[in-house]
């Protein structure tokens, strides 16, 4: 009889867990609702950074970036990236970027922000301060409809905005880097 009760308890436990999982899957998060709503509008937002757009081919990207290099707006960064230097932050900023291509078209553009004169002991170049400044910069250029999302695996916070097919995510990427990632959600 004792064994039988244990089996019944285990079955009840497993049934309860399965029910919670199923119910949890049926309730989309605020972020999932936002993505569904924005994609449902059918509005395309392809504008990214410095005139780069979703859907550009590699050739179009290079043809667009090359004149910016001649004008001194960008230069060669590390690892084949493009480097843009901005002095309008509290400390000079470097932005390195290079798009990701799928079927020879841009579907994602990560921008990596760092303080040019970062040092671990300097309070004015801490990554938390960089995050605040990059988020403000991003809001000024793309709008302030960002929501805060916590990654349940590591409690890292990301600020996310979805407009049509374009998602913009802003988050700390490393001890000295903040990443702004543009993703075409219609490509996922």
What residues does each domain of the chain span? Answer: 30-187
Our CA dihedral for 85, 88, 92, 96, rounded to 10 degrees, sits at: -30
Alpha-carbon span 60 to 81, nearest angstrom: 16
| pTM reported for the whole predicted model | 0.81
Residuewise pLDDT in 10s, the chain (188 residues): 444 444 454 444 444 444 444 444 556 687 788 888 878 887 888 999 999 999 999 999 999 999 999 999 999 988 889 999 998 888 999 999 999 999 999 999 999 999 999 988 988 889 999 999 999 999 999 998 898 988 777 778 999 999 989 999 999 998 899 999 999 998 76
Spell 134-147 as b/e; 16+ CB within 10 A means b: bbebbbeebeeebe
Strand boundaries in the chain, DSSP class E: 75-76, 82-86, 93-97, 100-102, 105-115, 147-150, 157-163, 166-172, 178-184
Report the candidate in 78, 79, 83 with the shortest Cα–Cα distance to residue 94: 83
């Amino acid at each position: 009889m004792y064994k039988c009760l244990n089996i019944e308890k285990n079955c009840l436990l497993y049934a309860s867990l399965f029910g919670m999982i199923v119910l949890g899957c049926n309730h989309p998060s605020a972020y999932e609702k936002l993505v569904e709503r924005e994609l449902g509008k059918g509005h395309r937002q392809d504008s990214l950074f410095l005139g780069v757009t979703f859907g550009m081919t590699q050739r179009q990207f290079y043809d667009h970036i090359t004149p910016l290099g001649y004008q001194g707006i960008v230069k060669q960064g590390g690892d084949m990236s493009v480097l843009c230097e901005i002095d309008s932050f509290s400390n000079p900023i470097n932005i390195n970027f290079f798009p990701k291509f799928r079927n020879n078209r841009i579907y994602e553009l990560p921008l990596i922000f760092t303080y040019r004169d970062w040092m671990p002991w300097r309070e004015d170049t801490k990554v938390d301060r960089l995050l605040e400044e990059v988020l403000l910069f991003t809001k000024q250029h793309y709008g302030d409809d960002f929501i805060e999302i916590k990654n349940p695996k590591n409690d890292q916070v990301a600020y996310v905005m979805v407009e049509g097919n374009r998602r913009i995510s802003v988050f700390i990427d490393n001890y000295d880097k903040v990443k702004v990632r543009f993703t075409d959600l219609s490509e996922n």
